[in-house]
Structure 1
Amino acid sequence: MVLAWWGDPQNPLEPVNTNEVNGGAVLNMIFTGLVSYDPKTSKASNAMADSITSTDQQNWTVKLKPGWKFSDGTTVTASSYVDAWNYGALVTNKQVNASFFQYVQGYNDVAPATGAPTAQTMSGLKVVDDNTFTVALSQKFSTWPQTLGYSAYYPVPKSFFTDHAAYLNKPIGNGPYEIQTWTKSQKMQLRPFTGYSGPNKPKNGGIDLKVYTDTNAAYADLQSGNLDLDNGIPNSALKTIQTDLNGRYINEPAGIIQTISFPLYQPQWSTPGAAMVRQGISMAIDRATITKVVFTNTRTPATDWTSPVLGESGGYKSGLCGSVCNYDPAKAKQLIQQGGGIPGGQLTISYNADGPHKEWVDAVCNSINNATGDTKSCVGRPVGTFADFRNQITTKQMTGAFRTGWQMDYPLIQDFLQPVYTTGASSNDSHYTSAQFDSLVSQANANPDQAAAVGQFQTAEKLLINDLPAIPLWYQNGTAGWSSRITNVALDPFSVPVYSEITVK
């Protein structure tokens, strides 16, 4: 068995109710979706889908490969997908990723902006037979098939509905692993699912995920041989990790951006001058020094809201953010003053204390304090655990700034913008809203010309420069260290270990 680092997921492991990395890592081990992403290139290809076709890029037919099973022995059918998607979209089920179904016809009936739903299922989903279903979208969406490897689109077994409590206690999927035991806040044991029909069958006897609330404790366990895989490396270890682990260390670009978001639902952050204050705060952050000193060059200063992993053809645009992302302490101080000053006189930056964040938050605050000339203008605000921290964000309890990050769900610029910044989107933590931004994203989705669509997405992205619901900080590399017991360790472009490929010596 491989003993690996883990953090408690925020929510129960329902596919449409998971939008953070700890829960996502498990879902991707116990489920296989219609498509999957190559662990080296992130390119999408059919997995459980035999074909996903359309003559007009709006009405799609999905055919499944027959014979796939869930780990409870039941068969995966077209209804496993349609029922899962309808459940996920229905507003009364309160699933955080419900908005991923917003382009399916009938979504507004099951998830109205106000009031009770007028339907229980989306009219755009139809089961044709056990291995075929159709999806009618409300508009053309040329890259829709490429999005379907994300966990929100996973199927669920019938027991998800007939005994939901049992499912939540021990989730059942159709992927390469199945959950054997799960003691919440302590450990999860995953073992190879012998009935798995996909190609990436595990090359190990299983993965044991151990929950750590202190990244330094996890790293100490790794060094002493009490942990095999650590992909929550503390910043304090980055300077010595190569020698500490005799080279058993990965540091490579990943589809991740780290940001600082603001609660625009709070009156003090929605005034006409507040956007100018946010711009000033951004210009007060010395990204180059922080990424070098704190992160030992495992981060790169961000100049847009996407990731270099996309490449220019995929939507990454170096320098798109312009001067707002450049360190200019004099201009920063001027803008903060012109905007009416930091609300309340002090900026707090909240973060989860069980992750490696204190050092960089302190460094960011020191940079802001130096620019303003006030040693108390910014302070860090630790929150005990990741789950508690995320719950404070999703229940709109934040009054100051807070750390946010985005790990791509699929390799499209659309994924860096739509789920994070469109009105009411699943990961719109700042609750930013712009009708113009929403419209441009919808137009880009409908554009069959991918190059032209990328340009439309970037036009939308430029609106974020002035509104600045979130400050781009840096692009994050994927990092991991491992023990001498295991080999074949790799990270995918999402920075998640390719668990199925790990072998025990």
Structure 2
Amino acid sequence: MEGGTFLRLGADPPTLDPHLTTDVNSAIYAVEIFGGLMTIDKNIAIVGDLAEGWDVSSDGATTTFRIRPNAKFHNGRSVTAGDIKWSLERAADPATEAFNASVFLGDIVGVRERLSGAATEISGIRVINDRTLTITIDAPKPYFLSKLTYPVSFVLDRENVESGRKWIFEPNGTGPFRLGEYIPGEVLLLTRFEDYHLGPAKLDAVEFLISGGNSMLMYENDELHITGIPLTLLAGVSDPSNPLSKEIVLAPPQFDVDYFGFNTTQPPFDDVKVRQAFNYAVDRKTLASTLLQDLMVPAQGILPPGFPGYNPDLKGYDYDPVKALQLLRESKYGTGELPRITLTLPGSFGAAINPSIEAMLAMWEENLGVEISILQTEWAIFLQDLHQNRFQMFGGLGWIADYPDPENFLDVLFHSESSNNQSDYSNPQLDVLLERARVEMDETARFELYHQAEKIIVEDAPWVPLWHSNGGSVLIKPNVQDYFLFPLVIPKYRYVYFTE
């Protein structure tokens, strides 16, 4: 049936401006309120959003997009090619300070000139008429359309944006839902956009309860339609004698990786042997099977199992405390005391540390004799400092795929010129491989380049890759249908409906 409000817990987003979005919390809302030329559908395929079709030139560099005639902003105004051009130029305007613009739009001819302030327009974007525009990239690249699904490429209404700083609380988007209400710390309400060009959502609204609470208790009191199951309660909820066991839905593995990162330009992590030592000193397998109850799979590298380009033969860091200590002693810091190490984590000052992080800190102390200080900062501030490479060591982080392509992990996170290279890591040999992979159109050859690149990254150890999610269990009310549990962040609430 149509109608009804879907209730779930949520979190305050660091931003609701899609061009400034860099995190999952912000993206969850951005993909529902806004949209761009392309999107990812429920089959994890790259499909047209505002674009009803496109043609690629014979040289593979220029794509001509045709805008859907029924594509509208939430105020009813038709979306034009000019809106898309203005939006991309706004994202690349240095005054916008869109952190991810260079990464996700940098293939477009003229974007780097716009980002540097040398140009006021993007030369590679041409408006042909209200419903047609062309985008030219610097070379044919197989993942280009995928990048246009990222929020930094979403279309905005110029009049709305230029109306004042509070525009983001009344955004005029093109997505399946409007922003109905947002009270920070309390609630964020999305309401159905009736004229959505891909067909209106079946739900009236989605309400994210940001004020928090005991999610299991709220679920049992019918205050939520979905909740995760805490590890401590999983066995009891799964017991067939528990009525809730019939409402368990198994979630697929996420396309993600959790990790610790090192600033490779700061002591002691400017020495690769120190970084390798920290990797060997962590018993991922035991932590995954005990503390995490096999809900995570120990990471051998960066790409998650099942992801395009995943290399099942990649050899990572098995637990070897003897080798770890040997490497530390062989490093340039091995003859004296290590510099003081501070691990920065997202979270409120004094908040409880995740037990798995505490366990790893204990392993580093026991196996390497290293005592690490903890510093916690609020999430929004943490992201700002992370983007400025201000941390010596950082953790409590994960990366989830934005689109199904290995470029989104290996190039976006580890190329020396990427703004998302949080470790300040640089290897010219790696850069060459990644740049070759960008323009390799044969998938087999391309994935082989990524296999070589990932091997170098693992050996250089700018991260301690920890694990990938192994799926899990959630509770979903029996009257909820088509709530798809996707392995990455894509628009999903337009599919959901209630049976009663």
What is the TM-score of this pair, normalised by structure 2? Answer: 0.89
Taking the aligned partners of 1:153 and 1:432, their CA distance within structure 2 comes to: 27
Q: Which amino acid aligns with 1:13?
A: L
- Are 2:281 and 1:278 equivalent residues in the alignment? no
Residue of 408, 411, 414 corresponding to 1:421:
414
Using the alignment, how far apart are the partners of 1:368 and 1:362 within structure 2?
10
Shift in CA distance, 390/250, structure 1 to aligned 2, threshold 3 Å: farther
How far residue 449 of structure 1 moved from its aligned partner, in angstroms, is 1.0
Aligned to 1:350, the other structure's residue is in SS state: strand
Partner of 2:355: 359
Name the stretch that deviates more: 411-420 or 396-405. 396-405
* 8 Å CA contact retained: 2:257, 2:304: yes
- State whether residues 32 and 154 of structure 1, in contact with CA within 8 Å, keep that contact through their aligned partners in structure 2: yes
Question: Does the CA contact (< 8 Å) of 1:241 and 1:249 recur in 2?
Answer: no
Q: How many residues get paired?
A: 484
Show the counterpart of 2:454: 461
Is contact 1:348–1:381 with CA below 8 Å preserved after alignment?
yes
* Whole-angstrom distance in 1 between the partners of 2:400 and 2:69: 32
Match of 1:110 in 2: 114
Residue 474 of structure 2 is matched in structure 1 by 481
CA positional deviation for 1:206: 0.9
The residue aligned with 1:332 is 324
8 Å contact kept, 1:260–1:470: yes
Instruction: Give secondary structure in 2 for the equivalent of 1:309.
Output: coil
- Mapping of 1:285-364 within 5 angstroms? 285-310=282-307, 314-320=308-314, 322=315, 324-339=316-331, 340=333, 343-346=338-341, 348=343, 350-352=345-347, 358-364=354-360
Indicate conservation of the 8 Å contact 1:256/1:475, yes or no.
yes
> Does structure 1 residue 5 correspond to structure 2 residue 4?
no
Deviation per CA, 1:129-171: give whole Å up to 9, x if none: 1111111112221331233222222111122442142322222
Distance 1:434 1:367, change over 3 A: same
2:70 maps to which residue? Answer: 67
Conserved? CA contact 1:261–1:403, under 8 Å? no
- The structure that is helix-richer by fraction is 1
> Could you give the per-residue CA deviations for residues 444-499 of structure 1, whole angstroms, max 9, x where no partner exists?
11112121111122222222123222221111245563453742232112167832
Q: What does 1:76-87 correspond to in 2, within 5 Å?
A: 76-87=79-90
| Per-residue deviation, 1:207 | 0.5
What CA distance in whole angstroms lies between the structure 2 residues aligned with 1:357 and 1:240? Answer: 25
**Closer, same or farther: CA 188–404 of 1 in aligned 2, 3 Å:** same
- Partner Cα separation in structure 1 for residue 352 and residue 138 of structure 2: 42
Please state whether the residue corresponding to 2:133 is helix, strand or coil.
strand
SS of the residue 1:500 aligns to = coil
Alignment counterpart, residue 450 of structure 1, candidates 419, 443, 448: 443
Matched, 1:178 2:178: yes
The residue type equivalent to 1:276 in the other structure is K
Structure 1 residues 286 and 239: CA distance shift in structure 2, 3 A = farther
CA distance in 1 between partners of 2:219 and 2:375 (Å): 28
Q: Work out whether residues 362 and 380 of structure 1, in 8 Å CA contact, stay in contact via their aligned partners in 2.
A: no
Q: Kindly provide the amino acid, as one letter, of the partner of residue 323 in structure 2.
A: K
Please tell me the residue identity of whatever aligns with 2:262. F
TM score, norm. by length of structure 1: 0.88
Identify if the C-alpha distance between structure 1 residues 293 and 239 changes in structure 2 by more than 3 Å, giving closer, same or farther.
Answer: farther
Counterpart CA distance in 2 for 1:417 and 1:482 is: 34
Quick check: 1:304–1:316 contact (8 Å CA) kept in 2? no
Deviates more, 1:471-480 or 1:300-309: 471-480
Aligned position for 1:255: 255
Task: Check the 8 A contact 1:33/1:48 in 2, yes or no.
Answer: yes
Q: What is residue 134 of structure 1 aligned with on the other side?
A: 134
Sequence identity percentage: 23
Q: Which segment is superposed worse, 421-430 or 187-196?
A: 421-430
Q: CA deviation at 1:118?
A: 1.2
